[in-house]
Structures are given as structure tokens and as C-alpha cells.
A and B are shown apart, each in its own frame.
Chain A
Amino acid sequence: MGQDNDSSAGMSRFEPQKVWDPAIRIWHWMLVFSVVSGWLLGEFRSFSTMQWHIYAGYTTGILILFRIVWGFIGPPPVRFRALAVTPSTLKKYAGKMLRREPSGAAGHNPVGAVSVILMLVLLSVQVLTGLFSEDDALFFDGPLASMVSGSTRTTLTAYHQLSSKAVLIVVLLHISAILFYLLWKRENLVKAMITGWKIVRK
């Protein structure tokens, strides 16, 4: 290790690898767009834009379905098998998370894997409750709202609003983690999700 010419001796244990396939990268940025626009159109809703909130929900739902399929047949780093973490791997990674070096994972690190699953579950709840929600001020209903009783609609609408707050928290946490990796661990995860190349431990 000491013999190589890498200017940063610590970095010699790492090498760039193509980790994220094109589909997952396009998927990720489409999801960013659909979730951010859907969230804003829901929070700052108006009669003339409410239909777009519903379209954003459909888009998010289709993207989640794709991610589930890709989790089974996609490349190894995006498979659900790679996202399966045990308390011990999680504990092991959490113990060295504060080190000022990239995680080196050839995909999601264990903490990242947990947040991916959390995000997918939350967004599924968001989309599914939205299908049955009603807006009794702007008089927009989810496409399946008429299939359930009025009180069920009201309840699911309340959960739709509640989980939107959870989505906001998880997205802010996601952005904070990326800033933490960029500023503290000196790893640019945004670039990795654009180019597909990630710093991986040799």
C-alpha cells in the first residue's frame, strides 16, 4: 500500500467502481422530481393545480413498482438482497460511520439500506392512502376514494397528511446524510448517483 503513488495514502484503499446502473440513476432522479413536486403541490394546493398533485402521485406509484421489480431482477447493488441488513452489520457500520473516509460500500451502506427501505415503505403509504383520500375543500378525490365509506376516506386522508410529514422528515434526513458524507466523509454521493461511479473499498 505504501509503494503506490497515490497522493493521499488513505485513499489508496479505495477505487472508483461503476456501482449504479443507468436505470436506477434515472429512476432516482425521476423519483426526486415526482416526490418533490407532489409534496409541494399537496402542501401548497390550489384548485387549478390539484390535478397535478394526483399525477405526481401516479408517477411516484409507478416508480415504486419499478423499484420493487428492480429489487428482484436488477443489478446486484440495487437488489433487495443487498439491502438486507442485520443488527450486527448495522452496529458495525454505525461504529465507524464518523470516520472521515468514504463508506466504501459497493452499493448502499447498511445505514443507507435502512433508509432506502424506510423511504420506499413511507412513499408506498403516501401513494396508497392518496388513492383513497378526499379533499373536501377543493373537492378532489383520489381515484379509488369512492370505493370506501366516508369515514374511511376521512381516516385515510388524515393518514395521507400525517405520512406527508414523515416523508418530509425522511427527505430532509436523506439530504443531511448526503451533506454529512460530502463535508465530513469527503464522499460525493450526488455525483455517484449521476455518473454511477462510486468510491469503493478495494
Chain B
Amino acid sequence: MTKRFKNIFIGILISCASLAALPMAQAADDDAVAQAIKARQAGFRLYSFYAGQLFAMAKGEQEYNADLAATLANNLVAVTELNNGMMWLPESDNTARKGKTRAQPEIWAADSNIGDKAQTLKDAALGLSLVAGDGLDALRGEIGAVGEACDSCHEDYRAEDF
């Protein structure tokens, strides 16, 4: 084989290999891990939707409404009470699934205190739900703990996204 034909042959081989790999790459987009990542992100979106409006009320950016505040806080509690442990599959961190999740591998480490963080949020949300309908001052008194619970977990276990 001349050198030229050898190069063409290798080129075709590489092209075939990349084409064969393409469906596999697509499959990884919708496998069990990918679905679990999407599901837990849906949970965070719910947190953000409920908490976001409560924070907006606390800051005076949205008019305080006792019924809505109570419902939002109750919904927040409901989401924190879901046992979503099955969504945190092995190999679903931001190194195994780069660009798909900001969850850092430390979540799965032996010394991880992700459970304590989740409990802190649960307690804070519950505390908020007990008073959210009792007026703006009551809401303001408890909402900080929720934000700080979110923040402390982001700080330790969520990667910055550039």
C-alpha cells in the first residue's frame, strides 16, 4: 500500500469510528443518569420558584399575600420532604457528566455532610411554613434561614458555572 492510500484508509477508519460513537454519545444524553440529573434539577427549579416568590415578598418586590405565602411555604416543605435519594446516582457528578450538572463529586464522598445540609433546609422550610401566612414581619423573620441553608449547600457542593 502506498503511503497515500494508507492515509486515506486510516481516515476512513477514524470517520467510521466517530460515526459509530455518535449514537452512543446521544444515548448518554438520555440514559438513567441523565434522567436522574434532569429530575433533581426539576426539584431545584421548584425550590427556586416557591422560595423566589417568598423572597420577593420579604424584600418588598412582590406584594405580600398571606394565603399565597402560606401555600408557597407549604409547597416548599413538601418538596424538601420528598425522598429523592435515588436521583443521586453514582457517576452523576460534574466530572462524569461535564456541562450537564454542577453537582460536585464531594457530595458522594465518605465525609460528605449533604444529609445534614438537606436536614437544615427541611427544618428551615418547616419553620417558615409555620409563620409564612402570619404577616410580612413573621415571613421576614424566618426566610433568612431558608436562604442560608440553600447558600451553604451551594457553597460546598455546587460548582461555579463559567
Interchain CA distance A158-B162 in the complex, whole Å: 6
Which residues of B sit under 8 angstroms from A46, Cβ to Cβ?
144, 147-148
> Is the pair B56, A47 in contact by a Cβ cutoff of 8 Å?
no
Number of A-B contacts (CB under 8 A): 41
Per-residue A-contact encoding for B143-162, CB less than 8 Å = 1, 0 else: 11001101100100000111
A interface residues, tally (CB under 8 Å): 16
> Is the pair A138, B148 in contact by a Cβ cutoff of 8 Å?
yes
Closest to A155 in B: B162
Which residues of A sit under 8 angstroms from B48, Cβ to Cβ?
136
Which residues of B sit under 8 angstroms from A154, Cβ to Cβ?
161
> Is the pair A45, B161 in contact by a Cβ cutoff of 8 Å?
no
Interchain CA distance A157-B102 in the complex, whole Å: 14
With contacts A47-B143, A47-B144, A48-B144 taken as known, whether A137 is within 8 angstroms of B150 at the C-beta atoms is yes
Closest to A160 in B: B160
Query: Interface extent on B, as a size class?
Result: 10 to 19
Closest to B154 in A: A137
User: How far is the CB of A153 from the nearest CB of chain B, in Å?
Assistant: 10
With contacts A139-B52, A139-B55 taken as known, whether A155 is within 8 angstroms of B161 at the C-beta atoms is yes
> Is the pair B151, A138 in contact by a Cβ cutoff of 8 Å?
yes
Q: Is B51 an interface residue (CB 8 A)?
A: yes
Q: Is A188 an interface residue (CB 8 A)?
A: no
Interchain CA distance A159-B56 in the complex, whole Å: 25
Closest to A50 in B: B147
Which residues of B sit under 8 angstroms from A45, Cβ to Cβ?
151
> Is the pair B148, A139 in contact by a Cβ cutoff of 8 Å?
no
With contacts A158-B160, A159-B162 taken as known, whether A137 is within 8 angstroms of B144 at the C-beta atoms is no
The residue that A161 contacts in the complex, of B56, B151, B160, with Cβ under 8 A, is B160
User: How far is the CB of A88 from the nearest CB of chain B, in Å?
Assistant: 37
User: How far is the CB of A167 from the nearest CB of chain B, in Å?
Assistant: 16
11 contacts between A and B (CB under 8 A): A47-B55, A137-B154, A138-B147, A139-B51, A139-B56, A139-B59, A157-B160, A158-B161, A159-B162, A161-B160, A162-B160
Chain A residues close to B by CB (< 8 Å) = 45-48, 135-139, 154-155, 157-159, 161-162
